[in-house]
Amino acid sequence: MSAFKKVAGLTGMKDTLPPESAQWESLEALVRDWLAAYGYQNMRTPILEQTRLFARGIGEVTDIVEKEMYSFVDPLNDERLTMRPEFTAGIVRSAIEHNFLYDRPRRIYAMGPVFRHERPQRGRYRQFHQIDVEALGFSGPDVDAELILMLARLWRLMGLDDIRLELNSLGQAAERAAHRAALIAHLEKHMDVLDEEARRRMHVNPLRVLDTKNPAMQDMANSAPRLFDFLGEESLAHYQGLCARLDDAGISYTLNPRLVRGLDYYNLTVFEWVTDRLGAQGTVCGGGRYDGLIELLGGKPAPAVGFAIGMERLLDLWTQQAEVAPAAECQVYLIHQGDAEQRCAARLAESLRDAGLRVLVHAGSAGFKSQFRRADASGAMAAVILGADELSNSAASVKWLRADDSGSAQQETVAFGQLADYLKQRI
């Protein structure tokens, strides 16, 4: 008896097994086609980056950097490394390093795992997955609107009709500085209701105080000076240009003055798509403009705007809204009687795969009844049966496992040489 103790998976890091993995593949395929329709190209960046990239790119006074990053020192070269907690910083680092914007602006996207050490809950894990979309080098409200229209199309493609859009504008640096001073003065007048976290942040990142979930602070946050009221002519024109384009497309939205990003390189448009169907974690997608980040990370100044979607939450919504049927294991399942028939089935299967069909051959020996149960469970459209008679006549019996348009399944005999064409015509 083995003395090895069974090893369990890590907390907050979830295995995805069939048939759920097939739902993931369906979502990923839909997302790739959707992004291709708008000219967005895939970029793949490493999971590991230098820790200082995220400290600069996300902000040192944030929960992600202070509490949630998986960071360690690589003993081989004494580097501080972090498993990516989000995509944007790594994408911008890559664009700078490879001079990616030298000849034109770029529309790019990434999909994959990100890592944050937080309390696991519905739709949120320590290893989770994001769809990240970035438009680098574009400055106008037309591209901000394009991103939002893209998302509206994605919700339609998925049949999601209860996700609502919230907008705000963060203005420009001088406007934010004026608002910051007024906000700090407001917070200082309400020190008695501020919790420990808000007091710590009020002088280094006061905008984040407005994002509090503390019920005792809601009245204070609601009465705080609104950044939107500090916007100048150009910032207002950008916001109005965005709204005009959304109005043209019939996209409804709500101005949410408390929708903020706490770091200086964020500016102008910020948006979220939210739902009530995911409990407390109602944000499905968050995005906005970050025209200062490329310069902050050492690149030539360039505007940028993007968004990220949590894939676990999106899949949760999709499977709530409609049954996402798992893909069948195969289209054709080959059933055989003995060794000679199994060898013939293996040869036939290769010819069917050459014709583009997805095929399984029953492994091992079993009775026909057992093999038919396995064929049916595979989701195959047809079972190809090889017994002694079929082998001697060089013709397979084809049993259709799913009813055709007339509502009845059929069984026919087809010569080996005609089998691929026959199946392709019917499947």
Residue with tokens 């903020």: 260
Sheet of strand 70-74, all strands in order from the earlier edge strand to the far edge: 48-50, 79-83, 70-74
Query: Do the domain assignments include residue 80?
Result: yes
Q: Are residues 369 and 235 in the same domain?
A: no
337 and 260 both lie in a single domain: no
Q: Do 278 and 358 belong to one domain?
A: no
Unique residue bearing structure tokens 């939107």 = 228
Asked if residue 406 has pLDDT above 50, the reply is no
Task: Catalogue the E-assigned strands of 302-354.
Answer: 304-310, 332-336
Cα–Cα nearest to 387, from 341, 339, 418: 341
**End of a domain among 321, 348, 364?**
321
Q: What is the span of the domain harbouring residue 134?
A: 20-171+231-321
Choose the final residue of a domain: 258, 288, 321: 321
What percentage of the chain has pLDDT greater than the value 70?
93
Per the prediction, the chain carries an average pLDDT of 90
* 161 & 263 share domain: yes
What is the mean predicted confidence (pLDDT) over 123-148?
94
- pLDDT, tens digit, 9 for 90 and up, residues 57-91: 777 666 677 778 999 999 999 999 999 999 999 99
Backbone angles phi, psi at 48, to 5 degrees: -95, 135
Average pLDDT over residues 398-412: 73
- Cα torsion through 272, 273, 275, 281, rounded to 10: -40
Query: Does some domain include residue 63?
Result: yes
> 283 and 411: one domain?
no
pLDDT surpasses 90 at 10: no
**Six token digits for residue 303:** 């505007």
Residues 259, 404 within the same domain:
no
Return d(Cα 320, Cα 161) in angstroms, integer: 12
Number of domains in the chain: 2
Is position 192 within any domain?
A: no
Q: Please tell me whether residues 167 and 286 are part of one structural domain.
A: yes
Question: Quick check: helix, strand or coil at residue 12?
Answer: coil
Q: In the listed set 321, 351, 371, which residue is the last one of a domain according to the structure?
A: 321
| 291 and 370, same domain (yes or no) | no
- Give yes or no: residues 141 and 48 share one domain: yes
13 within domain boundaries? no
Residue 210 lies in a domain: no
CA distance 114 to 15: 15
For β-strands 79-83 and 127-136, DSSP reports them as unpaired
pLDDT tens readout for residues 168-219: 999 998 998 899 899 999 999 999 889 988 888 888 888 888 878 888 899 8
Residue 199 lies in a domain: no
Query: Most distant CA pair in the chain: distance in Å?
Result: 94
Query: What CATH number corresponds to the domain at position 308?
Result: 3.30.930.10
The alpha-helical segments, DSSP class H, found in 206-232 are: 206-209, 218-222
Q: Is the same domain home to 102 and 237?
A: yes
Instruction: Specify if 84 maps to a domain.
Output: yes
* Whole-number Å distance between alpha carbons of 287 and 149: 13
What are 349-399's pLDDT values in tens digits? 999 999 999 999 999 888 999 999 999 999 999 999 999 999 999 999 999
| 7 falls within a domain | no
Structure-token pair, residue 203: 């002088």
CA 207 to chain centre: 27
Query: What CATH code is carried by the domain that includes residue 374?
Result: 3.40.50.800
CB atoms within 10 A of CB 288: 24
How many degrees, rounded to 5, is the angle at CA 118 between CA 112 and CA 124?
50
> Per-residue confidence at 123, pLDDT binned at 50, 70, 90?
low
Identify which of 47, 62, 14 has the alpha carbon closest to the alpha carbon of residue 261.
Answer: 62
